[in-house]
Amino acid sequence: MKNRVRELREKHAWSQAELGERLDVSRQTINAIETGKYDPSLPLAFKIARLFGSRIETIFLDGESR
């Protein structure tokens, strides 16, 4: 699943470690989410959306939807 986490993080000038701290996850988890190697759980995805003040579907893009 594609996402805009890296883009939003860079917009806020946060490092992966800083974002991880704000979301209470490790830096490696942020890296895995940004590179699309790991899809976060729904609670974590909502937490990310809340942190960036965006709707979840504008951050996480379902590759299968048309």
Residues facing 2 on adjacent strands: 61
51 touches another protein by CB under 8 A: no
62 touches another protein by CB under 8 A: no
Among positions 15, 26, 54, 58, the unique one binding another protein when judged by CB under 8 A: 26
| Angle formed by the axes of helices 27-34 and 16-23, nearest 10° | 110
65 touches another protein by CB under 8 A: no
Neighbour count for residue 8 (Cβ, 10 Å): 19
54 touches another protein by CB under 8 A: no
28 touches another protein by CB under 8 A: yes
